């Protein structure tokens, strides 16, 4: 790759891709423009040769539907670090193994009374049983909600109450959080406990089942429930500016665009790649690209149980010879911080293609990839609501560092003004999409009016602001609402404010995203205290821990400022934007509605 001057006025030079004949392994999409010109979803569906068993049941297509030689291939290499030796240990599952295990689990669920359309949630660590439960549940036609294992009781309660989940699969380590809110979950009938280390089997309650015991008795054949493309499959909760998180409902037919993008953006070559998606199954990246996209192609992927540690990540990629890696800007920035001397200790020559998602990817991070891995990171933009990648950088297309890239073939993106009409090239506006990809959300669970409100003039409004340049590259500007993006996790200010005011000392709370070099934003809270409480370091620390335990480790305010009163409109609404402007030293804007 060579660097040349960009035709745009951006400070980083365009990275020009070599001509096709110079590629040792040519990209799956050879020519972006040609693919855009000659595109239809139907054609992609036929080309991908997705097996059409049982309608388009996502689990059946991804796990059961491969030719015999692929069924013998490893689908999942699960890796955990031995706590005493520090060595990696792995467990491998072929597609054939996963077929049997997911069939068994589907039988366990049917035995437990689960029917098509019921909501089944997993609240598990990154362990094989999480994947088996999700795919087993999909085979029964259930709507599956994977919960992030770091969620605290309040976050779990919001999601399980709203979805009226009938069954949850969890582990002994996480179950106490579920037990603490069980009284608030009248729809929850059964809990399946995955007890890998045999710690709890004899202490199960009447509504609880032991995973291993139930699986041992279940048949490994199962008649997969027929699901049509529009039938609901996966639910992930996402945060908005107001109200509790909303359940984004995706459908089985989403697989077509998840599979196409795994092929053309991740550039997976299933017969030779070892793929690693570092996202947790609790987030949409962890399902769309940690399960569906790669497995629909028959690719082998590794799943690492542990969290982020630069040494471990490098060693993992070296030892398992990872070729395609999908990660997030915060992780890349943390790796950058750990220094080049560290990365030089590892042989990472297997890496062939690198992608990133979740937050803007700094040009510096792209260039760093080039320096240390000899490969650049390819930024991809999408949302829980879009179900698959929508605006991306591709192996075959020149990269303008700092740009999200161009719309995936088949997808139309636009920049709109306040009346929802396209703005001229180069002008900033609302980032919008024609909602024609098969993976775009079907609804927000039981909030159809909110879902409908996202569509204007035939466009789906993303809630982001962006601009497009004269060569069709999109540039992210920021969120259009108060939702905070901290290390790639969206956090709604309302959720954090609700948790804050449950603390006995807090009278009022307002929460903003404060720019941060490493995590993009951190959560900053402004609170006023109830009479009788005085500000102290201990109290601040106590409030911080209180929210952290109720919501999640990523969703608590790292900074808390105590104010005598919070600025409000005359109608009593706290003015977050004003607090943010003051915090950042920006103009305060229109304060005419400010309370006297």
Torsion of CA 212, 213, 215, 219, to 10 degrees: 160
Closest approach of Cβ 83 to ligand PRX, in Å?
31
404 binds ligand PRX (CB under 6 A): yes
- Number of chain residues interacting with ligand PRX (CB under 6 A): 21
Rounded CA gap, 316 and 276, in Å? Answer: 10
Helix (DSSP H) and strand (DSSP E) numbers for the chain: 20, 29
Closest approach of Cβ 290 to ligand PRX, in Å?
11
Closest approach of Cβ 358 to ligand PRX, in Å?
5
Which CB atom, from 129 or from 521, has the smaller least distance to ligand PRX? 521
> Could you say which residues in the range 229-248 bind ligand PRX, by CB under 6 A?
238
> Could you say which residues in the range 437-476 bind ligand PRX, by CB under 6 A?
462-464, 476
Which CB atom, from 314 or from 476, has the smaller least distance to ligand PRX? 476
Closest approach of Cβ 151 to ligand PRX, in Å?
14
- Which window, 185-193, 301-309, 377-385, 502-510, contacts ligand PRX (CB under 6 A)? 377-385
H, E, C per residue of 229-272: CCCEEEEEEECCCCCCCEEEEEEHHHHHHHHHHHHHCCCCCCCC
Which CB atom, from 108 or from 235, has the smaller least distance to ligand PRX? 235
Which residue's beta carbon is nearest to the bound ligand PRX? 384
Closest approach of Cβ 222 to ligand PRX, in Å?
31
The tokens for 596 are 């006297």
Closest approach of Cβ 488 to ligand PRX, in Å?
7
Length of the chain, in residues: 596
Rounded CA gap, 447 and 22, in Å? Answer: 51
Closest approach of Cβ 180 to ligand PRX, in Å?
26
Rounded CA gap, 378 and 394, in Å? Answer: 7
Closest approach of Cβ 382 to ligand PRX, in Å?
5
- Which window, 57-65, 83-91, 374-382, 418-426, contacts ligand PRX (CB under 6 A)? 374-382
List, as one string, the DSSP characters of 470-534. TTS-EEEEEESSS-EEETTEEE-HHHHHHHHHTSTTEEEEEEEEEEETTTEEEEEEEEEEPTT--
Closest approach of Cβ 434 to ligand PRX, in Å?
17
Rounded CA gap, 160 and 147, in Å? Answer: 10
Instruction: Provide the angle, in degrees to the nearest 10, between the axes of the packed helices 537-550 and 493-501.
Output: 120
Tell which one of 107, 140, 261, 285 touches ligand PRX (CB under 6 A): 285
Are the C-beta atoms of 366 and 434 separated by less than 8 Å? no
381 binds ligand PRX (CB under 6 A): yes
> Could you say which residues in the range 342-361 bind ligand PRX, by CB under 6 A?
357-360
362 binds ligand PRX (CB under 6 A): no
Are the C-beta atoms of 162 and 247 separated by less than 8 Å? yes
Rounded CA gap, 323 and 585, in Å? Answer: 45
The torsion angles phi and psi of 147, rounded to 5 degrees, stand at: -100, 140
Are the C-beta atoms of 474 and 467 separated by less than 8 Å? yes
Instruction: Provide the angle, in degrees to the nearest 10, between the axes of the packed helices 537-550 and 153-163.
Output: 30
382 binds ligand PRX (CB under 6 A): yes
- Which window, 5-13, 138-146, 226-234, 380-388, contacts ligand PRX (CB under 6 A)? 380-388
552 binds ligand PRX (CB under 6 A): no
Tell which one of 129, 154, 231, 379 touches ligand PRX (CB under 6 A): 379
Rounded CA gap, 445 and 448, in Å? Answer: 7
Which CB atom, from 159 or from 190, has the smaller least distance to ligand PRX? 159
List, in sequence order, every residue forming a beta bridge with 527; answer none if it has no partner: 509, 562
Closest approach of Cβ 280 to ligand PRX, in Å?
11
* Interface with ligand PRX (CB under 6 A): 238, 284-285, 357-360, 379-384, 404, 462-464, 476, 479, 485, 490
């Amino acid at each position: 790759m060579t660097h040349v001057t960009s035709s745009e006025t951006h400070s980083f030079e365009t990275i020009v891709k070599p001509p096709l004949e110079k590629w040792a392994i040519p990209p799956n999409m050879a020519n972006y423009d040609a693919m855009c010109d000659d595109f239809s979803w139907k054609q992609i569906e036929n080309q991908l040769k997705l097996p059409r068993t049982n309608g388009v049941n996502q689990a059946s297509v991804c796990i059961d539907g491969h030719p015999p030689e692929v069924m013998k291939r490893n689908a999942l290499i699960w890796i955990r670090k031995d706590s005493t030796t520090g060595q990696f240990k792995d467990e491998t599952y072929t597609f054939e193994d996963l077929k049997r295990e997911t069939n068994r689990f589907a039988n366990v669920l049917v035995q437990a009374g689960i029917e098509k359309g019921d909501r089944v949630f997993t609240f598990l660590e990154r362990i094989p049983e999480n994947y088996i439960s999700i795919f087993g549940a999909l085979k029964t036609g259930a709507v599956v909600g994977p919960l992030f294992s770091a969620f605290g009781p309040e976050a779990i309660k919001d999601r399980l109450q709203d979805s009226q989940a009938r069954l949850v699969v969890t582990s002994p380590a996480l179950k106490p959080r579920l037990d603490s809110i069980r009284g608030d979950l009248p729809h929850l009938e059964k809990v399946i406990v995955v007890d890998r280390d045999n710690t709890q089997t004899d202490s199960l309650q009447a509504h609880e089942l032991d995973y291993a015991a139930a699986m041992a008795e279940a048949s490994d054949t199962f008649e997969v429930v027929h699901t049509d493309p529009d039938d609901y499959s996966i639910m992930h909760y996402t945060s908005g500016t107001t109200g509790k998180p909303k359940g984004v409902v995706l459908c089985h037919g989403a697989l077509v665009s998840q599979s196409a993008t795994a092929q053309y953006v991740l550039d997976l070559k299933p017969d030779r790649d070892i793929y690693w998606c570092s996202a947790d199954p609790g987030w949409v990246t962890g399902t769309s690209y940690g399960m569906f996209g790669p497995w629909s192609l028959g690719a082998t992927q590794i799943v690492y149980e542990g969290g982020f540690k630069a040494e471990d990540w490098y060693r993992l990629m070296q030892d398992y010879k990872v070729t395609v890696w999908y990660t997030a800007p915060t992780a890349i920035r943390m790796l950058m911080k750990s220094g080049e001397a560290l990365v030089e200790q590892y042989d990472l020559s297997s890496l062939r293609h690198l992608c990133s998602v979740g937050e803007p990817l700094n040009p510096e991070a792209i260039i760093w990839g080039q320096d240390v891995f000899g490969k650049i990171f390819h930024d991809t933009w999408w949302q829980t609501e879009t179900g698959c990648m929508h605006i991306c950088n591709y192996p075959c297309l020149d990269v303008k560092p700092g740009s999200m890239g161009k719309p995936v073939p088949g997808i139309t993106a636009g920049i709109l003004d306040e009346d929802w009409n396209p703005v001229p090239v180069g002008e900033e506006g609302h980032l919008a999409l024609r909602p024609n990809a098969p993976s775009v959300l079907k609804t927000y669970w039981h909030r159809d009016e909110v879902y409908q409100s996202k569509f204007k003039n035939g466009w789906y409004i993303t809630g982001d602001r962006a601009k497009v340049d004269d060569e069709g590259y999109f540039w992210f500007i920021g969120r259009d609402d108060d939702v905070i993006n901290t290390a790639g996790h969206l956090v709604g200010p309302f959720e954090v404010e609700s948790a804050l005011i449950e603390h006995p000392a807090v009278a009022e709370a307002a929460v903003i995203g404060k720019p941060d070099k490493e995590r993009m934003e951190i959560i900053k809270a402004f609170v006023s205290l109830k009479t009788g409480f005085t500000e102290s370091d201990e109290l601040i620390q106590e409030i911080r821990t209180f929210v952290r335990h109720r919501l999640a480790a990523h969703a608590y305010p790292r900074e808390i400022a105590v104010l005598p009163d919070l600025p409000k409109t005359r109608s009593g609404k706290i003015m977050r934007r004003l607090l943010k402007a003051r915090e950042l030293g920006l103009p305060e804007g229109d304060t005419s509605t400010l309370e006297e």
